[in-house]
Amino acid sequence: MKLLFITLFLIGGVFFFTVGTIGILRLPDLLTRAHSAAKCDTLGAMLCLMALIIYKGFSFTSLKLLFVILFIWITNPTATHLIAKTNLMENKKDKKLME
Amino acid sequence: MKRIMKSILMFMVFWIILTEKINIEIGIVGIILCSFVYVFNRQDLFPDNNFFFNKILYTLLYSGILLKEIIVANWDVAKIVLSPHMDISPQTISFDTKLQSPFYRMILANSITLTPGTLTVDLKRKHMIVHCLKKEYAEQVICSKFEKILLKIEAIEHDQ
């Protein structure tokens, strides 16, 4: 029963990581690619870590893994936001140089 | 005094989780380290109203809705990416939030980025610039559930 849940969660996690990677390759420009890169970290990483938590049961290790999930969920949007903002600022700079 | 105790208790729980043991040595070292962390960070880290202790019910509700939204939106974006001809219409929209405090604005911006299909590009005071993968997502962003819950939390805070 436990093994079934672990397998399901891991397959789900790997699926979303795969979709994220395919998205990075297929989508047309930087901002849409950033969407894809942000996506595989939110759900893919969460599902993989959840599988590990179920495997370990209730212990200190699982609590640490929960903190890892929380940390990823705070840092990942921040990093994506910075990439997008840099893109915006570069575009503005380019426009000024063109004029 | 109560605030100091609260934050040091929070640090101690974190410290015990990291060390995986409870005995006297670890307790003493932990208390010393936690007091140092508190002294060095008290202005930046802890605003007067503590988010996690006062509104724990709303925090749980918010995390639940966020989790549900992330799963639903992830599934939608996965369908878009895997379909043979991607029907995307990327566009950038900008709108003003009604939220007052910078902390809740930060949470709103991070939630918008966490739900796939939408991406916060810039946040200046009240003005937010959001990039969307499809037109439908843009409408969802402007009247979002997140903002409503955060507005409620803020209203409670004003009453206190």
pLDDT, tens digit (0-9, with 9 covering 90-100), for A14-59: 988 888 888 888 877 777 787 777 777 788 888 888 899 888 888 8
- Paired residues of B96 in beta bridges: B127
**Alpha helix (H) ranges present in A1-44?**
2-26, 30-39
Which helix (H) or strand (E) segment holds residue B157: the answer is: helix B145-159
β-strands B91-96, B118-124: how paired?
unpaired
Q: What does the pLDDT average to over B151-158?
A: 71
Residues 6+ apart with CB under 8 A from A58: none
Compute the distance between CA of residue B61 and CA of residue B63 in angstroms, rounded to an integer.
Answer: 6
Structural contact between residues B146 and B100, judged by C-beta atoms closer than 8 angstroms = no
Burial of A36 (0-12, 13-18, 19+ CB in 10 A): buried
- Range with the largest mean pLDDT of B34-38, B85-89, B137-141: B34-38
Give pLDDT, residue B53. 58
Nearest to A88 by CA among B94, B77, B104, B73: B94
Q: What does the pLDDT average to over B77-97?
A: 77
3-state secondary structure of B125: coil
Give pLDDT, residue A11. 92
Using one digit for the tens of pLDDT, what is the confidence trace for A59-83? 888 888 888 888 888 888 888 888 8
Instruction: With CB atoms and an 8 Å threshold, state whether B114 touches A77.
Output: yes
- The residues in B 86-115 lying below 8 A from A, measured between CB atoms, are 86, 88, 90, 109-110, 113-114
Using one digit for the tens of pLDDT, what is the confidence trace for A1-13? 888 989 998 998 8
Which helix (H) or strand (E) segment holds residue B131: the answer is: strand B127-132
Structural contact between residues A26 and B86, judged by C-beta atoms closer than 8 angstroms = yes
| List of chain A residues whose C-beta atoms are within 8 Å of the C-beta of residue B20 | 60
Q: Is A29 on the interface with B (CB under 8 A)?
A: yes
pLDDT of B13 higher than 80: yes
